[in-house]
Amino acid sequence: MKIIIEEGNPGEEDQIIIRCKELDDNILRLIAELKQGQKKLAGIKDGNITMIDPANVYYFEGVDNKVFLYCKQNIYETKQKLYEIEEEFKNTDFFRASKSVILNVSKIKSISPAYSGRFEAQLFNGEIVVISRQYVPELKKKLGM
């Protein structure tokens, strides 16, 4: 892969041109990351709104028609729906791990097989998240297995 960086003239809009033989998963992931840029998530805790970098989110979980985002030590509520989060973070390190969980693979410390074809992911914050068997192939794809 060859990377060329050119400085533009003052006042010109920044642009990124991607020239490739095939639009593969790595390029799609790169495009998604570029589009997200400095995007922040609004997390609500104790009536206060905190802006959270998506890279700090371990996982999202839907519980009783509410969606929570879990960081290293704090849990926040978000007004987004799980399907909106899944679409927004498509082609990134986030993936659907079960009907109610979207997991950040960059926060996985280890993975082990569990019962009935499921996997358990231990996260860097010590939590364990169950990955449903129907989503295991996507996990393997994300991890290059």
Whether residue 27 lies inside any domain: the answer is no
Is residue 30 assigned to a domain?
Answer: no
Is 63 among the domain residues? yes
Distance CA 95, CA 118 (A): 15
Which CATH number fits the domain that encloses residue 67?
Answer: 2.40.50.1020
Condensed to tens digits (0 to 9), the pLDDT of residues 86-109 reads: 998 887 889 999 999 999 999 999
57 vs 91, more confident: 57
Number of domains in the chain: 1
Cα-based distances in Å from 84 to 7, 59, 78, 81, 137? 36, 14, 11, 5, 22
pLDDT at position 125 is: 93
Q: Is residue 79 part of a domain?
A: yes
* 2 domain-assigned: no
Supply the pTM of this predicted model: 0.75
Q: Is residue 7 part of a domain?
A: no
**8 Å CB contact between 32 and 16:** no
Which of 19-23, 72-76, 141-145 bottoms out in mean pLDDT, i.e. has the lowest?
Answer: 141-145
Give dist(CA 128, CA 61) in Å, integer: 13
Would residue 95 count as lying in a domain? Answer: yes
The range of the structural domain enclosing residue 85 comes to 40-143
Is residue 5 assigned to a domain? no
Residue 26 CA from chain centroid, whole number = 15
